[in-house]
Structure 1
Amino acid sequence: MDSGLDLGLDAAALTARLVDVASVSREEKALADLVEGALRGLPHLRVDRDGDAVVARTDTGRDQRVVLAGHLDTVPIAGNLPSRLDEAGLLWGCGTSDMKAGVAVQLRLAATLTDPNRDLTFVFYDAEEIAAEFNGLKRLVEKHPDWLAGDFAVLLEPTGGRVDGGCQGTLRAQVRTTGRRAHSARSWLGENAIHKAAPILARLAAYEPRKVEIDGLVYPEGLNAVLIEGGHAGNVIPDSCSVTVNYRFSPDQSEAEALERVREVFEGFEVVLTDSAPGALPGLSHPAAAAFVAAIGTPPAAKEAWTDVARFSALGIPAVNYGPGDPTLAHTREENVAVAAVLEAEQKLRRWLTA
């Protein structure tokens, strides 16, 4: 039987403990059970659970509430468990950076901040690394928005210890062509739908993405082909082809505006939306965000990806990304996090929440 989580460990040692409990997406129950069990033993917290998402809250009567959030799941293990600590102070293993170091910091703060200067909500959720339909934070937004109520939110995704404001939006669409099927020995009797896709690729190659400045942060966009599907057999002229494109758009655009831009690029072709998620404005002018940036002490940057800060933004809660770990190591076999970075993140958040 598992002995449980010792929240008396420092944040780096707790990270190792979390990493050694495998929690690939849709298989987070064992870790969620440990998190819930550890938090329910703390008298200053109210704890709720929905599926494999756990939410804990203080209720000190402060006039401001901060939400600290992080996901429990990881991508599939790549031969990088159990964790190991090397002589340089790097902790290696699946999920070290993305994002069990951030979860460990949350747990340490939840255990030790019994009288914070703001009321706190700690959110630990499942299935962030896979399709949005499974996302635990999405489920909480839909079923228990009151559990997530707050004035400001911090998502402890790895950011290299800097504050990343907002996030890009993302959409995927299929750009389709049609032709006429024929035997390839008599190709002149058909119309090759794959050949007709050549202009789609040419437009992508010629496309110049925008760089958009918002609140002093620059969000670079990108429009790229990520999948091509077409063909039936090695001796058949194909009568259909689709190029799936992924548009990472600046948060100054709505999802509808982003889709319209894609339709403009591929005018004359059928464009079918398959997936979309809004971006989030940085909101750094909000007093809570400004105070947070000042407490962290490093210049903020734009988040060059989509993250769950967009879900908080949709609830009207200003949110930023901040956490230990190098985001470029996320999902790699070589994933690791520096012990010093984990301890520093806890120290800075603690100072902000107790000053």
Structure 2
Amino acid sequence: DEFYHGLKDALKGLLKGKELTPFFTPRASITTIHAGAIPNMVPEAATADVDVRFPPGVKKEQIIDLANQVKEGVVNRNRAIDTSFTMAIEVKSSIDAIRVDHDNAACTSLATCIEAAGRGSGACEKPSFVKKTGTTFMNHIGSFFGCPVVTYGPGDPSLEHTPGERIAKAEFLQAIDVLEAFISRMAGH
């Protein structure tokens, strides 16, 4: 609890003085907690997974350094009470955020394929680009290969990873058509 709140406060200070939007605001979320098995007994140890999402321009090393600074503060405060107090941070995964120029060949080709599929189904809508936080294969592929990247999928992106996430069969089948057309277009066929 002390580490988590300290990290959240430190993340707020990371971009102090800059305009913060949902996409450009670093965030920390506790995703798992494991501790004791008896409700009225203080556990000997506890572990928690904390997912940190951070915007382009903030490097993963900055986040790791910040987390270690917060950890040292927590350890020092708690050792004043209990000299055996320890705490460790294990980075399970880290990758820098990526921001894509919508004018790259991958984005424009995909948008063309989405529009064409929409016209064919009678649901012609101009596709829009969504800024996403979190790790996707875009982060890995874009940084490793240094190439333009884009991601696409059917459904409402605001419902991803929620109990309301679902797509209709027609959306799924249309997405297959879009991706086939996109691959063909990018391959020059």
TM-score where L is the length of structure 2: 0.57
Secondary structure at the counterpart of residue 92 of structure 2: strand
Q: State which of 180, 192, 199 in structure 1 corresponds to 2:2.
A: 199
The Cα of 1:330 is off from its aligned counterpart by: 5.5
**In the alignment, is residue 336 of structure 1 matched against residue 167 of structure 2?**
yes
What code does the residue aligned with 1:227 have? Answer: T
The Cα of 1:300 is off from its aligned counterpart by: 1.7
C-alpha offsets along residues 131-173 of structure 1, whole Å, 9 cap, x if unaligned?
A: xxxxxxxxxxxxxxxxxxxxxxxxxxxxxxxxxxxxxxxxxxx
Bigger proportion of residues as helix: 2
In structure 2, runs of 5+ residues without a counterpart are 76-86, 115-125
What code does the residue aligned with 2:133 have? Answer: E
**In the alignment, is residue 324 of structure 1 matched against residue 154 of structure 2?**
yes
C-alpha offsets along residues 92-112 of structure 1, whole Å, 9 cap, x if unaligned?
A: xxxxxxxxxxxxxxxxxxxxx
CA distance in 2 between counterparts of 1:208 and 1:267 reads 16
Match for residue 137 of structure 2?
A: 308
CA distance in 1 between counterparts of 2:56 and 2:9 reads 23
The Cα of 1:273 is off from its aligned counterpart by: 1.8
The Cα of 1:308 is off from its aligned counterpart by: 1.3
Match for residue 181 of structure 2?
A: 350
Bigger proportion of residues as strand: 1
C-alpha offsets along residues 66-102 of structure 1, whole Å, 9 cap, x if unaligned?
A: xxxxxxxxxxxxxxxxxxxxxxxxxxxxxxxxxxxxx
Given that 1:280 and 1:309 are in contact with CA atoms closer than 8 Å, whether structure 2 keeps it comes out as no
Match for residue 56 of structure 2?
A: 251
Given that 1:219 and 1:302 are in contact with CA atoms closer than 8 Å, whether structure 2 keeps it comes out as no
Given that 1:220 and 1:304 are in contact with CA atoms closer than 8 Å, whether structure 2 keeps it comes out as no
Given that 1:283 and 1:289 are in contact with CA atoms closer than 8 Å, whether structure 2 keeps it comes out as no
Q: State which of 21, 28, 37 in structure 2 corresponds to 1:223.
A: 28
Q: Relative to 1, partners in 2 of residues 1:257 and 1:308: Cα closer, same or farther, differing over 3 Å?
A: same
CA distance in 2 between counterparts of 1:233 and 1:340 reads 47
Match for residue 135 of structure 1?
A: none
Given that 2:154 and 2:167 are in contact with CA atoms closer than 8 Å, whether structure 1 keeps it comes out as no
Q: Relative to 1, partners in 2 of residues 1:335 and 1:298: Cα closer, same or farther, differing over 3 Å?
A: closer
CA distance in 2 between counterparts of 1:207 and 1:238 reads 27
Given that 2:100 and 2:149 are in contact with CA atoms closer than 8 Å, whether structure 1 keeps it comes out as yes
What code does the residue aligned with 1:346 have? Answer: D
Secondary structure at the counterpart of residue 301 of structure 1: coil
Given that 1:309 and 1:320 are in contact with CA atoms closer than 8 Å, whether structure 2 keeps it comes out as yes
Secondary structure at the counterpart of residue 223 of structure 1: strand
CA distance in 1 between counterparts of 2:171 and 2:4 reads 45
CA distance in 2 between counterparts of 1:335 and 1:291 reads 26
The Cα of 1:245 is off from its aligned counterpart by: 1.8
The Cα of 1:236 is off from its aligned counterpart by: 5.8
In structure 1, runs of 5+ residues without a counterpart are 1-197
The alignment of Structure 1 onto Structure 2 pairs a total of residues equal to 156
Matches within 5 A, 1:141-156: none
Q: Relative to 1, partners in 2 of residues 1:337 and 1:237: Cα closer, same or farther, differing over 3 Å?
A: closer
Secondary structure at the counterpart of residue 228 of structure 1: strand
CA distance in 2 between counterparts of 1:200 and 1:330 reads 25
Q: Relative to 1, partners in 2 of residues 1:344 and 1:244: Cα closer, same or farther, differing over 3 Å?
A: closer
Identity level (%): 20
* Higher RCO by CA contacts (8 Å cutoff, separation 6 or greater): 1
